[in-house]
Amino acid sequence: WAQDASNRPQPVYHFAPAANWMNDPNGLVYYDGEYHLFYQYNPYGDRWGHMSWGHAVSRDLVRWTELPVAVPETDVMAFSGSAVVDWHNDSGLGKNGKPPMVAFFTGFNPRTKIQAQYAAYSNDRGRTWTRFGDKPILDIGSTEFRDPKVFWHAKTKSWIMLVVLAVENKLAIYTSKDLKQWDKASEFGPAGARGKNWECPDLFELPVEGHPGQTRWVLGINLGDSAIGGGSGGQYFVGDFDGRRFTPDPTSGTAPLWMDYGADFYAAVSWNDIPAKDGRRIWIGWANDWRYANAIPTFPSRGLMSLPRTVSLRQTAAGYRIAQAPVREVETLRRDPVRVDELLLGEAEVALPVEGGSVELQLDIDAGNADQIVLALSDDQGFRTLIGVNPTIKELFVDRTRSGPHFHDAFPERHNAPIKIEAGRFTLRLLVDQSIVEVYADNGETTITDRFFPASGKLRWSAYARNGTATIRSLKAWQLGDAVQV
Ligand code: FRU
């Protein structure tokens, strides 16, 4: 296993580049059997800088192959953006009757500080990219105008580009027929949660679960600070999109809806061009928080992606809510199944028959009369990360206040989320990978994603209940990961 500076094994089934700095996922597109994952990458170091698009591909979303840098820094740094397959060669950039891939990124000019939108294209399945001209395709002279998300809108037969006016907390929507000439259609915001900036927008249509024929549009907006996990994080809106304007549903309320309640799920955006017969909407987030991103104690790479997650939409008593689940391909990584039924929990901590730090756990728990149920993941130096539920106040939490040696003041925190307790019961699904925990509760309606950095790589699982007893009705667990990162 690759090890970092403190001898800690690195995640095995979450994507990280072999070395150097990585932030946002970019250019997510499916083409000819491959999922492309581009990302904000510094080819020269393990802190933010020289921003370029790194590149990895996968056929199953869980086993990734890293490829050479796709879009390098030039006169401008290549900031975040997206990519599409130009099926009908509307751009005229295709060759030999094959649809080109076209990428859109924000070029940040370090001299003028201007942020403008640029395009690049590929006619070789994304292996090499050519910038479309020297000039931006969309420039409004702003220093806070970034993260173009382009997608095809079938009803109006147009290309749509979302771009944030970052510090104004606004989204600008543009339309195009040829991917080159863009006309402004509307703006959205400020709305929901504000903050120092809005970043990395996304917009997609989802069927409403259990209501055949009904759909709504989900607008994802990432926030540079002040999100629910304490720092950078994502919110979403549910509404309608007519090809020009996004209109939020009045019923979705005024309180922000959070993509995730942890600190480490940022800049989440979704794949374009996943075939209709697959039908999934899949997104991925950067598992980090801008407050401490440059300080996390990992080596030789600094930066990790979340698992790719399927996003669906449900009608709940409170209104429409997204639900997330790890892509089903994760199940192909399962080994060594363990199953335990009827495990009574009390004050005395009991060991769980689960080994190590790259595992999946599925728990069905009867809260009994306990007011807290805790799963602890401990290293052999006394550091531990707690995943728990306080059933009386219907709260789920991840406590990483003592999860490892100190490296940044903003890191040792506890993150809370609401959880439903029905007839005294709740279920949890945990995907843990050495230094990341993804908690899926309420069937994916609530997630907490947090990094943790124990002092050593040997991790042990245990559980206990406070002020009463609770019962693990069933625990299913697997080792995860034959995934090899190249
Ligand atoms: C989000 C972000 C984007 C920008 C990129 C630069 O994390 O700030 O808005 O394009 O990172 O690396």
Residues serving a catalytic function are 24
Determine if ligand 1 sits within 6 Å of the CB of residue 52: no
How high is the pLDDT of residue 483? 46
- pLDDT-derived band at 34 (thresholds 50, 70, 90) equals very high
| Residue in this structure with the two tokens 């979340």, named with its chain if needed | 306
The DSSP-derived string for 108-165 is E-TTT--EEEEEEEESSTTSS-EESSSS-SB--S-SSEEEEEEEEETTTTEEEEEEEE
How high is the pLDDT of residue 5? 53
In the reported structure, the alpha carbon of residue 120 is separated from the centroid of ligand 1 by a whole-number distance in angstroms of 18
**Residue 24 alpha carbon, nearest atom of ligand 1:** 7
Average pLDDT over residues 369-398: 97
User: Which phi and psi (to 5°) does residue 226 adopt?
Assistant: 60, 20
Of 170, 196, 200, the residue with max ligand 1 atoms within 8 A of its CB, to mutate for a pocket test, comes to: 200
- Architecture of the structural domain at 334-480: Sandwich (2.60)
Which residue owns the Cα nearest ligand 1 atom 7? 24
State whether ipTM is beyond 0.95: yes
How high is the pLDDT of residue 485? 42
Is the per-residue pLDDT at 251 higher than 80?
no
Q: Rounded mean pLDDT of the chain?
A: 96
Is the per-residue pLDDT at 253 higher than 70?
no
How high is the pLDDT of residue 8? 74
- pLDDT-derived band at 4 (thresholds 50, 70, 90) equals low
Determine if ligand 1 sits within 6 Å of the CB of residue 200: yes
Determine if ligand 1 sits within 6 Å of the CB of residue 446: no
How high is the pLDDT of residue 6? 57
How is the chain split into domains, by residue range?
A: 20-326, 334-480
In the reported structure, the alpha carbon of residue 214 is separated from the centroid of ligand 1 by a whole-number distance in angstroms of 34
- State percent of the chain over pLDDT 90: 94
Give CA–CA dist 87/84, Å, rounded.
Answer: 9
Q: What is the pLDDT of residues 161-215, one digit of tens each?
A: 999 999 999 999 999 999 999 999 999 999 999 999 999 999 999 999 999 999 9
- Top-confidence residue, 255 or 239: 239
Classify burial at 20, counting beta carbons within 10 Å of its beta carbon; exposed 0-12, middle 13-18, buried 19 or more: buried
In the reported structure, the alpha carbon of residue 35 is separated from the centroid of ligand 1 by a whole-number distance in angstroms of 22
Which residue owns the Cα nearest ligand 1 atom 12? 79
Give the sign of the dihedral formed by CA 228, CA 233, CA 238, CA 241: positive
Determine if ligand 1 sits within 6 Å of the CB of residue 358: no
Determine if ligand 1 sits within 6 Å of the CB of residue 46: no
Of 20, 199, 292, the residue with max ligand 1 atoms within 8 A of its CB, to mutate for a pocket test, comes to: 199
Average pLDDT over residues 61-87: 98
Q: What is the pLDDT of residues 437-466, one digit of tens each?
A: 999 999 999 999 999 999 988 899 999 999
Give CA–CA dist 240/204, Å, rounded.
Answer: 10
Average pLDDT over residues 389-400: 98
In the reported structure, the alpha carbon of residue 292 is separated from the centroid of ligand 1 by a whole-number distance in angstroms of 15
Average pLDDT over residues 110-118: 98
How high is the pLDDT of residue 99? 98
Q: What is the pLDDT of residues 256-314, one digit of tens each?
A: 999 999 999 999 999 999 999 999 999 999 999 999 999 999 999 999 999 999 999 99
How high is the pLDDT of residue 109? 98
Determine if ligand 1 sits within 6 Å of the CB of residue 450: no
Determine if ligand 1 sits within 6 Å of the CB of residue 321: no
Determine if ligand 1 sits within 6 Å of the CB of residue 149: no
Which residue owns the Cα nearest ligand 1 atom 8? 199
- pLDDT-derived band at 486 (thresholds 50, 70, 90) equals very low
**Residue 164 alpha carbon, nearest atom of ligand 1:** 9
Closest CA to 262 of 413, 428, 430: 413
How high is the pLDDT of residue 418? 97
| Residue in this structure with the two tokens 């907006």, named with its chain if needed | 221
Give CA–CA dist 94/472, Å, rounded.
Answer: 57
Topology of domain 20-326, per CATH? Tachylectin-2; Chain A (2.115.10)
Task: Judge if 20-326 and 334-480 fold alike in CATH terms.
Answer: no
Residue type present at position 236: Y
How high is the pLDDT of residue 7? 64
In the reported structure, the alpha carbon of residue 80 is separated from the centroid of ligand 1 by a whole-number distance in angstroms of 6
Give CA–CA dist 133/332, Å, rounded.
Answer: 43
Poorest-pLDDT segment among 2-6, 234-238, 239-243, 443-447: 2-6
* Predicted structure pTM score: 0.97
Determine if ligand 1 sits within 6 Å of the CB of residue 40: yes
Q: What is the pLDDT of residues 343-377, one digit of tens each?
A: 999 999 999 999 899 999 999 999 999 999 999 99
Determine if ligand 1 sits within 6 Å of the CB of residue 24: yes
In the reported structure, the alpha carbon of residue 103 is separated from the centroid of ligand 1 by a whole-number distance in angstroms of 16
**Residue 147 alpha carbon, nearest atom of ligand 1:** 10
